[in-house]
Structure 1
Amino acid sequence: MKTYGDLNPSPRTILTPGPVEVDPRVLRAMSFPILGQFDPEFTTLMNETMEMLRHLFQTHNQWAYPVDGTSRSGIEAVLTSVIEPGDKVLIPIYGRFGYLLWEIAERCGAEVVTIEKEWGRVFDSSEVIEAIDREKPDIVAIVHGETSTGRIQPLADIGAACRERDILIIVDAVATIGGVDVKTDEWMLDAVIGGTQKCLSVPSGMSPITYNDRVEKKVLRRKKIERGLRDQTPAPASMGRTVQSNYLDLSQLQDYWSPARLNHHTEATSMLYALREGLRIALQEGLEPRFQRHLLHERALVSGLEAMGLTFYGDASCKLPVVTCIEIPEGLDGESVRSMLLDAFGIEIASSFGPLKGRIWRIGTMGYSCSRKNVLHLLGALEAVLLRHQVDVRAGRALQAALDIYADKK
């Protein structure tokens, strides 16, 4: 029989837009003993996690809890539980993950209407509001931070317009929650989906969500309709189409997270430990100081790359603070550079998707990965690798420019 070696992953400096390095305190929390999911000690941890999620999402919503699964599980849970066949869903698309919302909404039987913006830019709020008034959708689904292009979409005016017109707005904040301001209540967002593996520095495997009573009302109405259909004999051919999933059904998930603790699934105990610790760390740092930390290291990184002579991709006025996109110099094999960074320095950065594949590198400065050590390490390593690839960079300037930013901060 084949023998297998000990698990011993190589140490990495992960500067992708997700996953990122996990805070050691989170890894330690994941090693703690398992508790039963209905053990009072564990349900207390569940309640504390909900409380901290309300602070993170900046909301007073009753419902703020994680869905077990990667970030996509949270997106699917909200969309499949809220969208009814025939609902009109408007999706403004300015990158790859807007297309994901489109695909899921179509699978729910929605009438999907899209507006699209050239990648590297975002919508003016008035453009989205004009589309809302023209199309009169039941739901608007939109990405807050688009990691494929490194752009961030303003939401405050769009949220207010949806509320004024009694339209639900669902927001993918997977890339921004915990690193960039997300004001759920102030911006009048009805449902917001986050992720663990980006700015929270928790392993991928849970998707924190929050939603208000407007969303809950629709979810529970659908549950009532489905129950009525199930009671009919013979059952209608359409039965079972009112809610698309059992595992991702918000009406059942919220029963599980309610004081009733109605059994739905076996909670991912160690992942809940991880999320609770990641939230505790974020709130201990303070949301505003945490946002400022991300901005500081973004400034240092951008200053260093600019001093090196590299060109940035996209409209600078809507840059996502936690993702920096660089145009790959003409004629250069971008994958060769990424491979050398990984092999020689243990640093991972990302390429991109679709029309941007082979055109840009994406550098994530998120959560625990967002540090002075990592920024300086990357700048020095990238300069060395580019010089080895015969790229004409301004040698010696990048680190000094970044150090100037850090010195000014003092």
Structure 2
Amino acid sequence: MTETFHELDHPARLLMGPGPINVHPRVLRAMSVQLLGQFDPEFTGYMNEVMALYRGVFQTKNRWTFTIDGTSRAGIEAALVSTLCPGDDVVVVNAGRFGLLLAEIAERCDAKVTFVEAPWGTVVDPQAVEDAVKRVRPRLVACVHGDTSTTMAQPLDEIGAICRAHGALMYVDATATLSGMDVPVDAWGADIVTAGLQKCLGGPSGSAPITISDQAAEHIFSRRHVEKGLAGTGGAAGAGRRIASNYFDLAMIMDYWSEKRLNHHTECAPMLFAARECARLVLEEGLAARFERHAKAGAAMTAGLEAMGLSIYGDKAHKMTNVTGIWAPEGVDYDRVKVRMRTDFEIEIGSAFGPLTGKIWRIGTMGVNARKHAVLQTLAALEAVLRWEGFQAPAGAGVDAAAKVFA
């Protein structure tokens, strides 16, 4: 007989890594609401409400603002596969793991990638981006706003102006920053921006908010009617440029989210309800207040870690407010610290990627966890674990320093 296993009953851990984070209780409640048919007028009304709400979250007037069914990477892939044609040039602003991801997806679209790079722990100089754009004349410039692999936030004001000046579309991956740091889509002049619920928005992974400018939408729609037989033949505008993916075809998805309601997929109702409630929470709190809350929690975490004698990773002038990297002290068992945080205190902190593997831990202060109690609990637990591991952190110094920031 096949084993049925036990009912789900795991500890309610405090998720203080770089994401996912704990889901807001109101979002959990929204996800438990009974399903509706995808063309039920009440359900399509909810879809319209989601579009309106996320215009506020993205700080945009873009008509095409909605959600993609899938994780934040689904939003990234939909944006790139629907925008880039085979042979297109794309400039990728890269200073971490997720800049490399943008390049990998662009290469799978048979685009030609030009990197503008900076060492991990720093950000890219906008002048280097402009030099590359002038040289390459790309269709798209692709950037990550906050790269959780390095905890750095790339300034984007100048890059948006560069794209507008040279006729390039601008794509931004704002997965880790939307609603936690300022993401002024229209002020940046960004053409496509995507995110996910599982970071500052305080929801579960599985829905990817996206906003698309009229200029980008026009380009995407121009690829909708290209016939398969034209692929690779060159010649007329649009020839060989049909969007290669069905699921991630933004032209089809936009038709689904339009008044036409042309069937593309069956919308995941619980995720739509979750995305809707996440946005409601953001706008009820107010963007300015929410950014301030995330900034204060991040500053308190940083102050507490430094008071414990730990070193912050990367260029502090460009540090994300909502994710902090700390160097693991010499002589401390890197993996065992993470394990003991989880098993002794039910708190999760993050490890690292690539060249930082085994060298830094990453601690997030996002969404419902960007609050005083979560910061103080994490610092107190980390101090205890580090002392058990032989690192002489000053007793109580981390909590005291963080509490002063909140005070």
- TM over 0.5, yes or no? yes
CA distance in 1, matches of 2:152, 2:120: 9
Could you tell me which amino acid in structure 1 is paired with residue 207 of structure 2? M
Q: Which residue of 2 aligns with 1:195?
A: 196
Deviation at 1:124, TM superposition (A): 2.1
1:12 corresponding residue in structure 2: 13
| 1:315-394 equivalence runs, <5 A | 315-394=315-394
Q: Are positions 1:146 and 2:151 aligned together? A: no
Unaligned runs of 5+ in 1: 233-237
Displacement of 1:4 in angstroms is 1.9
Alpha-carbon distance, 1:183 to partner = 0.7
Identify the residue that residue 137 of structure 2 maps to in structure 1: 136
Cα deviation digits, residues 119-155 of structure 1 (max 9, x gap) = 0000122221122122222211111100000000000
Count of aligned positions = 401
Tell me, in whole angstroms, the C-alpha distance in 2 between the residues paired with 1:112 and 1:397: 47
Q: Is the 8 A contact 2:116 2:124 kept in 1?
A: no
Contact 2:62 2:212 in 1 (8 A): yes
**d(CA) in 1 for partners of 2:154, 2:192:** 16
Quote the Cα distance in structure 2 between the aligned partners of 1:211 and 1:6.
42
Q: Secondary structure at the match of 1:115?
A: strand
| Counterparts of 2:150 and 2:202, CA distance in 1 | 21
How far the C-alpha of 1:194 sits from its partner, in A, is: 0.8
One-letter amino acid of the structure 2 residue matched with residue 357 of structure 1: T
Structure 1 pair 241/131, CA: closer, same or farther in 2 (3 Å)? Answer: closer
CA RMSD between the two structures: 1.5
* Offset from partner CA, 1:306-342 (integer Å, 9 cap, x none): 1111001101110011100000011221110000000
Task: Find the aligned partners of 2:363 and 2:372 in 1 and give their Cα distance.
Answer: 14
Q: Note the alpha carbon deviations across 1:381-405, whole angstroms, 9 max, x for none.
A: 0000000001021222111111111
- C-alpha separation between the residues in 2 aligned to 1:57 and 1:362? 26
Q: 1:349 to 1:359 in 2, by over 3 A?
A: same
TM-fit CA distance, 1:241: 6.1
1:298: which partner in 2? 298
**Structure 1-normalised TM-score?**
0.95
Distance 1:228 1:244 in 2: 13
Structure 2 spans left out of the alignment, 5+ residues: none
Cα 1:104–1:292 change in 2 (3 A) is same
1-side partners of 2:224 and 2:403: how far apart?
A: 57
Tell me by how many angstroms 1:3 deviates. Answer: 4.0
**2:124 maps to 1:105:** no
SS at match of 1:112: strand
Identity %: 50
- 1-side partners of 2:153 and 2:323: how far apart? 10
Distance 1:266 1:196 in 2: 19
Match of 1:401, SS state, is helix
Q: Is the 8 A contact 2:226 2:239 kept in 1?
A: no
Contact 1:85 1:242 survives alignment (8 Å)? no
The residue correspondences of 1:8-407 to structure 2 (distance < 5 A) are 8-226=9-227, 229=230, 242-407=242-407
Please say if residues 171 and 193 of structure 1, whose CA atoms lie closer than 8 Å, have aligned partners that are also in contact.
yes
- The 8 Å contact of residues 145 and 175 in structure 1, kept in 2 or not, is answered as yes
Q: What is the Cα deviation at residue 275 of structure 1?
A: 0.7
